[in-house]
Structure 1
Amino acid sequence: MLDHAWGAREFTASDVMAATGLTRSTAIEAMDTLAEMGLLEELPNARLAGDYRKGRPARRFALHADAAVLLGVDAGHTHITATVTDLRSHSLASHRTTHQIDAEGPDDRRRAVLGTVDEALRRAGRSRGDVLAIAVGVPAPVDATGRSPRHPDGFWERMNPDLAEALAWAPLVRIDNDASLAAVAEGAVGAAAGCADYVTLLAGDRLGAGVVVDGRLLRGAHGGVGEMVAFDHVEGVGSAYGLGAMAATWARAAVAEGRLTPGGALAGLAADDLDGRRVLEAAAAGDPDAQAIAERVGAVLARIVSVLGSMFDPRRVVVSGAIAAGVADVVDAARLALPTDLHLPAPELVISPLGADVVVTGAVSAAADAARTAALDVWATRQA
């Protein structure tokens, strides 16, 4: 009954009977029970609502969307974004902070995440006690318990310093890799909606991949599926730097070596002022130096896509994240450079429409999935 309510705008006992096969008496009893628990709300009947029908008007119900809130968090390397939604994932408030994370210890990281969450709740007019489910994306592999393995320089532990424990005041908590949550978003409302086999390539400062095979998000023993460090050893790639970082590095080298066309868009910039966004914007505007760099990045992307295609056999690879808005030239070049000698059909390469909020969008979707699965258990425990 509750699952039906989550997917329906409003409904009557007859609607539930048709959708679930329940008898009328069972459907009415379940609706009344869920209304008493606060998970459903009874709406004005059809006659009071102005939709006149002969005979006794049917009782109408809907999910009580304000009964609790969901939290989606993108706890990135230098920023933290928290979004509060109602049970239907309608946004109520967001808050974003920036940090020099590498200079902070685990306690600072936990305080930063909790502070951002609490401020988002304050802006939404809610409190921790109203939270039913929270999902957090971090730039680190995460295992099924919400913990990250050790990293040679401690980076993963800094990004995920036992956040599952720090957020244990919420009934339902999911800590996950940020690229995995980006994949959740793409499958739910993005470029992979309706696709059961795809890879989301989160192209931030470094590359990360969320892998979905046969409709299931893959994790691995330590949460390492989709970690891209292996590309440090792949000829033609050489590192796991993000697409924008590659473009900026090569543009700065060209400036330093005096290889840019005099009077061009890039030639007039100091090396320190060049970032991936500016290089890709210049390429889109037709600057030949920037276009050459975009083609070079595209060739690397093609190699990455071909390796992912051989490993996971996806139908689609989605370039996702904030950089996606400016990578049309890179993706066009990558499509032309995709190898044809890998036996399997090359995956379709597409650009995400979700922009910089893809991780927090996936986190909200993951929180909603958890809530939809376990809300009844949480409410039963509260009322026991």
Structure 2
Amino acid sequence: MKEAGAATPQLLRRVNANAVLAFLRSTEVATGTDLMASTGLTRATVIAVCEDLLRRGWISETGLSREVSSQKGRPARRFELNPRAGFVLGIDIGAATTTAAVADLRGTIVGKASRSFRSAAIPADERINVVDQACRAALQVAGTTPETVLAVTAGLAAPVDREGNVLVTQHFWRLFDVGLRSALKELHGWTVLLENDANLAALGERWRGSGMGVDDLVVLLASERMGAGIIESGRLLHGNCGAAGEMGYLDMVEGVGSSAGIALLAREWFAEHGTPPLEAREVFAAAAAGEAAAVAVLDRLSERLARIIATVAILVNPEQVVIGGAVAESAGALLPRVEALLPRFTATVPRVTASPLGDSIVTMGAVRCALDYVEANALDLELAAPA
């Protein structure tokens, strides 16, 4: 058996730098002593790593602290992550609109912009141009330039496999297979990651939403159509073709019958009562005011949603299911009835919540995904001075 080779100086340098950066991301300011305690590295190694990261622009020095080293009697140096050393872009690409969010290296959103497509079936080059316009506008709001972008993640309303290939076995999914990665690479030199929008919603919810830190989590994007992002044991599930979480099976579920979402059905079911047409949010508001037709719609939606969540609970057994997307705020009104019904349909009842992230849930997850890439590849990335 061939023995594993000893760690090379280059590998040790990378491991040490990543350990220092990981701690600095989790705190505002750290001294050399703090970094020694968190990483287990010697003082000499910590200082050498920090000097290298200072030269590269990843961190900055905030001056000397009043804390005195017992060994040398010198004031301690203080280091912090340079959050504007570079930026990431998170993009949510739907059939009608696209939204781009710019975030610094701490994940703070510093710029955001949206643009609309003139139709769902526009040519690929036009769709790419609209996405690029949204990105440029968001960067302008953030006060920076395309050269400072270290990574981009785009969320699509279609399955995407682990290599970033869009599954094109349905016409709707083919609309998103437009060569976005190569186009943005050619335009700006960007590294672009593609991911399914519900998967990104799950990442965003686990990072900054009501599912923060939950290792067994399902997020349902539930507005116009149902889609699920699944995190199991802290790991995002993709499946063979990236189609884990696709909910076409709901066509065959008794009492459900389709993957239509809450917003779509609220409009359609309310119209069945012969009332003037209302948007979903207006239907929920009418139900809160006691309007009989709207209350009836919410009762139907609650039972349907309970059946859907039960199927997810039986198949995946998550700790928590989150209702996400633009309808999340309104969907909170459904939760008491859903929770009451769930024990009828499943013996493994999850906690059910509505996401606080609203229609930003996908862009938030896209930012998290891009940051994950930057954090894993920091020493291979060249920083440009922010504008």
Task: Report if TM-score (shorter chain) is over 0.5.
Answer: yes
CA distance in 1, matches of 2:251, 2:85: 48
Amino acid at match of 1:322: A
Structure 2 partner of 1:260: none
Aligned to 1:259: none
Which position in structure 2 is the counterpart of 1:128? Answer: 146
Closer, same or farther: CA 192–221 of 1 in aligned 2, 3 Å: same
Q: Distance in 2 between matches of 1:108 and 1:29?
A: 49
Map 1:361-380 → 2, pairs under 5 A? 361-379=364-382
Range moving further from structure 2, 124-133 or 179-188: 124-133
Q: Which of residues 146, 158, 166 in structure 1 aligns to 2:175?
A: 158
Query: Given the alignment of the two structures, is residue 62 of structure 1 paired with residue 74 of structure 2, yes or no?
Result: no
AA aligned to 1:299 is: E
Q: 1:330 to 1:100 in 2, by over 3 A?
A: farther
Q: 1:287 corresponds to which residue?
A: 291
Q: Give 1:283 shift.
A: 1.1
- The runs of at least 4 aligned residues of structure 1 exceeding 3 Å deviation read 51-55, 169-172, 339-342
1:159 deviates by 2.2
**Partner residue, 2:14:** none
2:198 is aligned, of 160, 175, 179, to: 179
- Contact persistence 1:45–1:57 (CA under 8 A): yes
Q: Is 2:246 the partner of 1:242?
A: no
Residue matched to 2:310: 306
Residue 27 to residue 345, structure 1, CA distance change in 2 (3 Å)? same
Report the counterpart of residue 348 of structure 2 in structure 1. 345
Contact 2:160 2:194 in 1 (8 A): yes
**Equivalent residues in 2 for 1:38-53 (5 A)?**
38-46=57-65
TM-score, normalization: structure 1?
Answer: 0.89
Cα offsets for 1:297-320 (capped at 9, x unmatched): 111101100111111111111001
Which residue number in structure 1 is paired with residue 94 of structure 2?
76
Equivalent position SS for 2:88: strand
Using the TM superposition, give the Cα deviation of residue 53 of structure 1 relative to its aligned residue in structure 2, in angstroms: 9.2
Q: RMSD in angstroms over aligned alpha carbons?
A: 2.1
Could you give the per-residue CA deviations for residues 179-227 of structure 1, whole angstroms, max 9, x where no partner exists?
A: 1111011111111112111110011211110001111110111110111
Q: Is the 8 Å Cα contact of residues 310 and 345 (structure 2) preserved in structure 1? A: no
Counterpart residue number, 1:167:
184
User: Secondary structure, in 3 states, of the residue corresponding to 1:307?
Assistant: helix
Q: Distance in 2 between matches of 1:142 and 1:101?
A: 22
Report how many aligned residue pairs link the two structures. 362
Amino acid at match of 1:309: A
Matched, 1:204 2:208: no
What is the Cα deviation at residue 341 of structure 1? Answer: 5.5
Q: Displacement, 1:339? A: 4.1
* Shift in Å, 1:152: 3.1
Q: Which moved more, 1:92-101 or 1:212-221?
A: 92-101
Contact 2:325 2:361 in 1 (8 A): yes
Would you say the 8 A contact 1:324–1:355 is kept in 2? yes
Q: Is the 8 A contact 1:171 1:378 kept in 2?
A: no
8 Å Cα contact 1:6/1:372 also seen in 2: no
Q: Is the 8 A contact 1:101 1:109 kept in 2?
A: no
Unaligned runs of 5+ in 1: 256-266
In the superposition, relative to structure 1, how do residues 170 and 14 fare at CA in structure 2: closer, same or farther (>3 Å)? Answer: farther
List aligned pairs for 1:80-99, cutoff 5 A: 80-99=98-117
Note if contact 2:115-2:133 (Cα within 8 Å) is conserved in structure 1. Answer: no
Question: Contact 2:96 / 2:116 at 8 angstroms: preserved in 1?
Answer: yes
Distance 1:339 1:30 in 2: 55
- What is the correspondence of 1:215-234 to structure 2 with a 5 Å cutoff? 215-234=234-253
Whether the aligned pair in 1 keeps the contact of 2:91 and 2:153 (CA below 8 Å) is: yes
C-alpha deviations, 1:110-135, integer Å up to 9, x for none? 11111111121122222221101111
Letter in 1 for 2:281: R
